[in-house]
Each structure stands twice: as C-alpha cells, then as structure tokens.
Amino acid sequence: MSLFEASAYALPHIARLDPYIPGQQLQGPGWVKLNTNENPYPPSPRAVEAMRDALGKDGSSLARYPDPTSRTLREAIAVHHGLVADQVIVGNGSDDVMTLLIRTFCGPQDIVGMTVPSYTLYPVLAGIQNTKLVEVLFERSVSLDPKKIIHSGAKLFFLTSPNAPTGVAFEKEAIVEVLESFPGILVLDEAYAPFAQEDSVDLLSRFPRLLIVRTFSKAYGLAGLRVGYGLGEASLLHLVDRVRECYNVDAIAQAGARAAIEDKAYTDARVQKIIQTRDAFAKTLESWGWFTYPSSANFIFTEPRTASGEAGSAIARALFDYLLDHKILVRYFDSTPLTCSFLRISIGSREAMEVVTQTLQSWKQNVQLK
C-alpha cells in the first residue's frame, strides 16, 4: 500500500469536496437512454455540414487556434435573441459558463444560493469556490416564493426555470419580483427554456443583475459538442471574460453551434415533436393516477404508483431497478424527501416512449416489493 497522501497536497476544501455525479453514459446496443435529458434527434444537417467544413478536407484547419472570442457564434446567438454580441459569452457547455460566473463573482466570504431541488452541479461549483451555500427548499407544490430568494443573503443565486428535475416553469411575475428586490446577481439557468411557453430574455433590458444561461445540449441535440452561453449586461460579461480560458470553445464547436442556432426552423420542428411526445406521455401517466408535475422541459418527473395505490421511495427505487433490468435508463434522486418517491424520465423518440410505456405497464402488473 502506498503511503503517498495525495489529499494532503490539495486545498483543504477541495480534499473535502463531493464531486458532481453525472448520469451514466452507458454504451452498447439495446439501451433506451432517458437519464440525461439529451435530444433523441440528430442536430441540424446544416450544423453537421458546418462542422465538416470547419474540419476541412485533411483536417489542416485544426492546426490553427480557433477564434478566441467566438465572435461569429456570439453574433449569431445575439441575433437569435435580439441582443448584441457584447451581451453574449460562450463556454464549453453551460456548465463552463456557470463555472466562470461563480469564479468571477464569488469567494469564501460570499454566499451562493440555490433552490432544492434543482441542478446538483451548483453546490459543487460553490464547493470548489469555497463559498457558503444557502438552500431555499421547495414544498411539494414547487411554487417559487420570491421573498426567500430576496432575503437569502446570497451574492449570486442560481434559479433553474424550467426547474430541474421537476420540469416546472416559474411564473414570470415571480421572477420579476425577485429581480426587483434581490440585491445580488440572479443566474437564471434556462437550459430547458426552448421547451417552455416563454423565457425571460426580455427582462435583460430591465434588470442589469440578471444573467441567463442557455445550452446547445438539449434543444439543439448537441450535448456532445459542449457549447453553452450566457446572456446579460455587457459590463458584467466583460468581467467574466477575464476569467475565461481564451480558447474555451473549439473551432468545430463554434462552427456547429452557429449553424445550429441559425437553422431555427429545424430546431423548432424537433422541439415541437418532443413537446407533443412529452404531453402524450404525461397524460398516460396521469391516467394511471401517477402524480406528474406539469413539465415545460424535455423530461417529466413522475411519482410511480403500484396497481394497489402505493407510492414512496421504495416503489420509485424498485421501478428504477426494474427499468434498468429492462435496459431502460432513467434518473432517480434519492437525496431529498421531495424527490425520493419520483423518477425523472427524459423524453425520447415516440418509439422509445412506447417501449417505456409498455415496460411501465408490465411493472405495474407484476410489481412485488421485496
């Protein structure tokens, strides 16, 4: 056994840090993978073509560094949202953008806020930065109480809307109420906004302390490309830009993301298809008496119930295992009382959701808890 104590060399708060645990990325044939809210459809063919062009015939264009400012991509994103390029920062996925935000604005003397449940990366980012963390707990209704954020004491608060893992989109009025009185920076994580009725981009012109974070991983079907972006007040983003690794988005990613956001018709059509599949699936679950949050995202959060009406954490876990045995991968969050009796199921293709529905039905008929 080695006597080398690696952790003695780490910063103490890093040695204590619990890392983020992403959903499993199982490979191999036969899996129905509905655990990380990926898009079941390929990205825009124009994006694929742009990436091939960026690679060039013999790959020699990769001998050069990419544009360190991602200028044309930022301009395309700005046009898409009716903003200017200075109001856009891009990153290696929206996780990178959120890392930049917390690194720019928060240190050990600051408080970072989040709701529980929400995206489990936020506490890890706070942990890396060694900030204090304040959690605003949702009741089962998952309704947003602006006062709890306003008085949280946070310098930077992560609010996910539509919320993950419930899929619930918060009322615009509640978000405005937060922005009117919260003295810190509100980071609105809109990873799933393209699947919702509305977003909050129009609020940027009224509230300089609002930063919105978006991703190409969900609506655009480009999770593997790793591109996300932040929208907000140019003077705030100029500060964030100081922290950014200067080549944080590679040449192929810049070209692919730009073509994808310019092909609005393609993305809109795929998003509509996912919304229709989602709503039909949610209706089926509700017809079985499974409580399911109204989803504005590309996943649903449902509380499984046996044929005899039992629900709870043992039931949810049993169903998770049953689905796994049937090569269907979904997400189970046992860490909070509000989530432990639910499963989060990403919306796949219509065919995949048929398979899931049939498997859930057979579970209901056969379930016997150990």
Ligand X SMILES: Cc1ncc(COP(=O)(O)O)c(C=O)c1O
Residues near ligand X (CB under 6 A) are 37, 93-95, 119, 160, 164, 189, 191, 215, 217, 223, 228
**CB of residue 223 vs ligand X: minimum separation in angstroms?**
6
**CB of residue 1 vs ligand X: minimum separation in angstroms?**
38
**CB of residue 160 vs ligand X: minimum separation in angstroms?**
5
Query: How many beta carbons lie within 10 A of that of residue 116, not counting itself?
Result: 15
Q: Which is nearer to ligand X, 250 or 359 (CB)?
A: 250
Q: 220 is written with which tokens? A: 């655009």
Q: Which is nearer to ligand X, 35 or 359 (CB)?
A: 35
**CB of residue 212 vs ligand X: minimum separation in angstroms?**
12
At 135, is the secondary structure helix, strand, or coil? strand
Q: Which is nearer to ligand X, 94 or 131 (CB)?
A: 94
Q: Which is nearer to ligand X, 37 or 131 (CB)?
A: 37
**CB of residue 95 vs ligand X: minimum separation in angstroms?**
4
Q: Which is nearer to ligand X, 17 or 223 (CB)?
A: 223
User: Would you say 249 and 228 are in contact if contact means Cβ atoms under 8 Å apart?
Assistant: no
Q: 79 is written with which tokens? A: 């046009």
Question: What are the start-end ranges of the E strands in the chain?
Answer: 32-33, 88-91, 111-116, 132-137, 156-160, 185-189, 210-215, 228-232, 291-292, 299-303, 328-329, 343-346
Q: 33 is written with which tokens? A: 């993978």
**From residue 333, how far is each of 116, 337, 344 by CA, in Å?**
12, 9, 8
CA distance 244 to 212: 17
Burial (CB count within 10 angstroms: exposed 0-12, middle 13-18, buried 19+), residue 241: middle
**CB of residue 222 vs ligand X: minimum separation in angstroms?**
9
User: What are residue 185's DSSP bridge partners?
Assistant: 156
Instruction: Say which amino acid occupies 347.
Output: I
**CB of residue 57 vs ligand X: minimum separation in angstroms?**
30
Q: Which is nearer to ligand X, 144 or 315 (CB)?
A: 144
Q: Which is nearer to ligand X, 315 or 343 (CB)?
A: 343
**From residue 328, how far is each of 41, 116, 243, 354 by CA, in Å?**
18, 27, 40, 12
Which residue sits closest to ligand X, CB atoms considered? 93
